[in-house]
Amino acid sequence: MGIMLIAYKCGMTRFFTQAGLSIPVTIVKVYSNYVVGLRPINDDFCLVKLSAGIVKKNKLKKSVSGFYKSIGVSDFKYMLEFKVKKSKSSDYVIGSKFSVSTLNISDKVNVIGTSKGKGFSGVIKRHNFSAQRATHGNSLSHRAPGSIGQCQTPGKVFKGKKMSGQMGNSRVTVSNVEVLGIYNDLEAVVLKGSIPGAPGNKIILKKSFHKI
């Protein structure tokens, strides 16, 4: 288990190493994350509630705003929960702050975000199907999916069949993304490669303990 941080994607650029190598990177701005809840869930783990992104009081439900008022913190737009070991629970005091300084260069993080929505897409774009013949008698079925089932037995289309439908706009996790740079004054992190979502989208950074 590890710390999770609420952030948002700023955009992509490139990063030059000292050897002059150009690497595509994503710039991520990390909110100031505050611990707003801590409760045990069993003998081994506790559940930490983290909030970030200060927002006006009238943008929240009264129950949520009242919850923040009861613990003496500002109103926040985002909230998430994650598990920690009870032995580490003393590190999470209600009202304490976590920021970009939690990360270190060369750390590996898991990036969780919502992919770009691409609307209703056919099977060729969505599932990389091959197109049918463009000549010799093929009439108006060049990008059709073809057969989707069998005959009377089983007499149905199996669940999970790859077909046309909405593409994107789904939760995606990219594992073991390397941290190439940290700017504490800007609260920004430089991540190697691309991450899911459009610029401005909320993402979650989760410290990974798996090394490549």
Asked if residue 202 is part of any domain, the answer here is yes
When divided into structural domains, the chain yields a total of 2
Give yes or no: residues 53 and 135 share one domain. no
Tokens of residue 153, six digits: 């037995």
Give yes or no: residues 128 and 139 share one domain. yes
Give yes or no: residues 153 and 57 share one domain. no
pLDDT tens for 64-122 read 999 999 988 889 999 999 988 888 888 888 888 998 988 999 999 999 999 999 999 99
Residue 208: per-residue pLDDT = 66
Asked if residue 26 is part of any domain, the answer here is yes
Task: Grade residue 212 by pLDDT with cuts at 50, 70 and 90.
Answer: very low
Q: Tell me the CA distances in angstroms from 159 to 55, 65, 149, 163, one per residue in order.
A: 42, 42, 11, 11
Give yes or no: residues 12 and 46 share one domain. yes
Give yes or no: residues 64 and 145 share one domain. no
Give yes or no: residues 10 and 92 share one domain. yes
Task: Grade residue 210 by pLDDT with cuts at 50, 70 and 90.
Answer: very low
Compute the distance between CA of residue 89 and CA of residue 46 in angstroms, rounded to an integer.
7
Q: What percent of the chain has pLDDT over 70?
A: 97
Q: Of 136 and 13, which is predicted with more confidence?
A: 13
Domain with residue 186: its CATH number is: 2.40.30.10
| Arithmetic mean of pLDDT over the chain | 91
Give yes or no: residues 72 and 22 share one domain. yes
Residue 3: per-residue pLDDT = 83
Give the three-state DSSP class for 66.
helix
Domain span at residue 144? 119-167
Give yes or no: residues 105 and 161 share one domain. no
Give yes or no: residues 108 and 123 share one domain. no
User: Got the DSSP string for 87-148?
Assistant: GGGGG--TT-EE-GGG--TT-EEEEEEEPPP--EE-HHHHH-PPP--SSTT--S-TT-----
- Supply the pTM of this predicted model: 0.83
Give yes or no: residues 14 and 55 share one domain. yes
Task: Grade residue 18 by pLDDT with cuts at 50, 70 and 90.
Answer: confident
pLDDT tens for 139-179 read 889 999 999 999 999 999 999 999 999 999 999 999 999 99
Asked if residue 212 is part of any domain, the answer here is no
Residue 211: per-residue pLDDT = 45
Give yes or no: residues 181 and 98 share one domain. yes
Give yes or no: residues 138 and 195 share one domain. no
Residue 143's contacts (CB-CB under 8 Å, 6 or more residues apart) are 122, 123, 124, 131, 132
Neighbours of 204 (CB within 10 A): 19
